[in-house]
């Protein structure tokens, strides 16, 4: 069973035996006592044709919780094998944000089928959420929240919370609106409970609410929730009308998605071909799609590497006279690439956290120049002994040391500049991947090294 879930691994054999013997009653009584997350792990392990059967065995409320825990690919697979009545029950009970996340992943034909199964209200709500840009806050938000009016008394507000709070995503925070549904403030439920019931809501307000536009990128929501330590973030339109909220659990999912997306870009993998889920569910992805996701960048880098070969070929004469030069080439370009990857990682992370802005590129470039100079001198000193021993010549050692210093500096500066360039042109800075940096370092580093050799040793 799933090696990451010892509970499933321990009890898995009993479940497998019940499935094989088709002892559905025993299985239903046994599984219904599990936590939803553990049942979801079990779904990932059993044979695909048994998943819809197992879902039908669960009590209705548990069906919804388990279904919400599953990956979109598994959700789609199960829905395709359920009756319309059961699909309708599941969709109607899903939280709006979970339902939107599911619809985002569906092929058009299945999406049309499922939309037709929704109630008019749910269909309108789902289509509204799907109308926001991909990766926007509008796709994450849920309209299930509790709002009160500023002119109400605390008693009126608490009665309202009792009436509508059961279906809300959270009642830890209550939102204050005016008659036009514009957001005025947010109040912790604790503040209402401790207040005199005859006080007006406006007497409790400080008008210091933090909100976000529905069209903003979800990364902005992540930053705001982290910065202000929020459990929920209100989402508004451009005029300040309250549309919904984004809760911490939605943000945790978004953080994982953003990190996975950055991981694929930093490794030069095109996740658009197979979706981000293939990183964590690589067993489920067809071989052809995995190849397609990786081959594009590899082909591009192959073409760039051919440039390196052309540079080497153009220095054939100097290489023929000093064959030992070739033995230093890998360490020089690899060190430059590694230095560039280090600096790129620092810049990309700082850009992602917002501690560095696009306008800071000049300062960081100068700072990296000093740092890279120091690193270059250290690495140059380190390779100088091998330059003397292997090259058997102080002149060869001089070429190697100078090349090392310059290559480390150039590689580091490439690592700083590329993320800022991608940001400047509205691209994800993580696209400045390690393979891209190391390949550029190969090209430029090879040219620098052999040019220095040519100048010092003569053509």
CA trace torsion 87, 89, 93, 97 (10° rounding): 20
Rounded to an integer, what distance in angstroms lies between the CA atom of residue 169 and that of residue 429?
34
Cα three-residue angle 149-154-157, rounded to 5 degrees: 50
pLDDT < 70: residue spans in the chain: 1-5, 7, 12, 108, 254-286, 293, 297, 430-433, 459
Determine the Cα–Cα distance for residues 185 and 204; give it in Å rounded to an integer.
10
Identify the three-state secondary structure at position 356. Answer: coil
Contact 318/459 with Cβ under 8 angstroms? Answer: yes
Residue 388 buriedness (CB in 10 A; 0-12 / 13-18 / 19+): middle
d(CA 221, CA 227): 10
DSSP 217: B
Q: Are 181 and 135 in contact (CB under 8 A)?
A: no
**Residue-wise burial string across 153-177, b where 16 or more C-beta atoms lie within 10 A, e elsewhere:** bbeebbebbeeeeeebbbbebbbbb
| Beta-bridge partner residues of 175 | 147, 186
Signed CA dihedral, 215, 249, 252, 92: sign only: negative
Beta strands in 153-194 (DSSP E): 173-177, 183-188
Count of Cβ atoms closer than 10 Å to residue 134 Cβ: 10
pLDDT, tens digit (0-9, with 9 covering 90-100), for 34-72: 888 888 888 887 778 778 888 888 888 888 888 888 887
What pLDDT was estimated at residue 27? 80
Instruction: Reduce the DSSP state of residue 388 to 3 states and report it.
Output: helix
**pLDDT score of 1:** 39
On whether the CB atoms of residues 43 and 72 are closer than 8 A, the answer is no
Q: Taking CA 211 as the corner, what is the angle to CA 205 and CA 214, rounded to the nearest 5 degrees?
A: 145
For the beta carbon of residue 288, count every other beta carbon within 10 angstroms.
Answer: 10
Q: Which domains does the chain have, with CATH numbers?
A: 6-132 (1.25.60.10), 147-248 (3.10.580.10), 315-457 (1.10.357.20)
* Alpha-carbon gap, residue 413 to 425, rounded angstroms: 19
Helix (H) / strand (E) element for 381: namely helix 361-391
For the chain, the C-alpha Rg in angstroms (whole number) is 29
């Amino acid at each position: 069973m799933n090696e990451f879930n010892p509970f499933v691994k321990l009890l898995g054999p009993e479940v497998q035996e019940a499935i094989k013997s088709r002892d559905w009653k025993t299985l239903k009584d046994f599984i219904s006592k599990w936590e939803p997350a553990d049942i979801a792990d079990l779904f990932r392990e059993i044979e695909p044709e048994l998943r819809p059967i197992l879902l039908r065995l669960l009590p209705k409320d548990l069906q919804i919780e388990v279904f919400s825990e599953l990956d979109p690919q598994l959700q789609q697979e199960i829905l395709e094998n359920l009756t319309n009545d059961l699909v309708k029950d599941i969709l109607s009970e899903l939280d709006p944000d979970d339902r939107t996340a599911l619809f985002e992943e569906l092929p058009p034909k299945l999406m049309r089928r499922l939309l037709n199964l929704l109630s008019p209200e749910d269909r309108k709500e789902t289509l509204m959420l799907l109308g926001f840009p991909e990766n926007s806050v509008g796709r994450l938000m849920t309209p299930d929240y509790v709002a009160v009016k500023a002119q109400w008394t605390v008693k009126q507000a608490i009665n309202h919370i009792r009436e509508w709070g059961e279906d809300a995503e959270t009642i830890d925070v209550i939102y204050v609106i005016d008659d036009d549904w514009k957001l005025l403030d947010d109040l912790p439920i604790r503040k209402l409970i401790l207040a005199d019931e005859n006080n007006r809501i406006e007497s409790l307000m400080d008008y210091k609410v933090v909100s976000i536009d529905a069209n903003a990128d979800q990364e902005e929501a992540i930053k705001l929730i982290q910065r202000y330590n929020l459990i929920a973030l209100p989402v508004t339109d451009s005029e300040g009308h309250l549309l919904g909220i984004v809760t911490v659990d939605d943000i945790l999912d978004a953080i994982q998605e953003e990190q996975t997306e950055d991981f694929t870009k930093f490794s030069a993998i095109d996740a658009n071909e197979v979706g981000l889920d293939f990183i964590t569910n690589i067993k489920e992805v067809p071989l052809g799609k995995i190849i397609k996701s990786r081959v594009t960048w590899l082909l591009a880098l192959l073409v760039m590497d051919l440039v390196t070969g052309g540079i080497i070929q153009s220095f054939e004469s100097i290489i023929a006279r000093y064959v030992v030069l070739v033995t230093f080439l890998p360490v020089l370009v690899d060190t430059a690439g590694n230095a560039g990857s280090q600096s790129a990682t620092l810049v990309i992370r700082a850009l992602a956290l917002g501690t560095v802005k696009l306008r800071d590129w000049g300062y960081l470039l100068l700072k990296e120049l000093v740092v890279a100079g120091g690193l270059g001198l250290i690495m140059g000193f380190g390779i100088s002994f091998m330059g003397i021993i292997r090259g058997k010549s102080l002149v060869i050692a001089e070429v190697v040391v100078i090349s090392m210093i310059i290559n480390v500096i150039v590689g580091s500066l490439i690592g700083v500049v590329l993320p800022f360039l991608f940001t400047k042109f509205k691209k994800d800075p993580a696209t400045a991947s390690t393979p891209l940096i190391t390949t550029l370092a190969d090209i430029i580093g090879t040219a620098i090294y052999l040019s220095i050799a040519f100048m010092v040793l003569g053509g």
